[in-house]
Amino acid sequence: MRRILFTILIIMVGLNTVSCSNCPSNSEPKSISQQVIDITCDSCVLFIRPSLEQIEQLISKYENEEDFYIMADDANFYTANAIEYLEDKNIDIFYLDSIKMVRFNQENILDFSHLAWDFVLYKKNTPKKIVKAIDFKYEFEHYFNVKP
């Protein structure tokens, strides 16, 4: 079971992609360098995947690997629920892993390299909000003023 979870994590991290679900053609992320992703959207959500280095650091922080795998399983469960919720609402989702420097709509560059298994809520002219997957639905509804 541990090996299966770790394999899934490695596959997720190993993709090293920036992709968008339900994005209009003008909202596709564009790499303006090897280090910064330029995203154009009025409102969207980023999901920051953990890098392989972050996963290795997390594993080393736990007394045994089994505890890490339990945490990773929980993180994947809540993340899957949040992504399913966003897809049902037809919200633009950007998935980031290897490149975590982002510029929204030609604004300042933001560094999300310290995040792993986190979401960033973005609405033009509003401060961005970092949200944990376990609190996602509540935080999303309040940030975007969506009624449950």
Task: Judge whether 114 lies within some domain.
Answer: yes
Domain count, the chain: 1
- Other Cβ atoms less than 10 A from the Cβ of 72: the count is 20
Asked if residue 47 is part of any domain, the answer here is: yes
The verdict on residue 24 lying in a domain is: yes
Contact 16, 95 (CB under 8 A): no
pTM for the complete prediction? 0.75
pLDDT of res. 20: 44
**Residue 148 counted as domain residue:** no
Assigned domain for 31 exists: yes
The range of the structural domain enclosing residue 75 comes to 2-143
Judge whether 97 lies within some domain.
yes
Please check whether residue 68 lies inside any domain of the structure: yes
Q: Is pLDDT above 90 for 133?
A: yes
Any domain includes 38: yes
pLDDT in tens, 94-122: 998 877 889 888 888 888 988 989 999 99
Tokens of 66: 């089994």
Which residue, among 146, 138, 105, has the nearest Cα to 122 in the 3D structure?
105
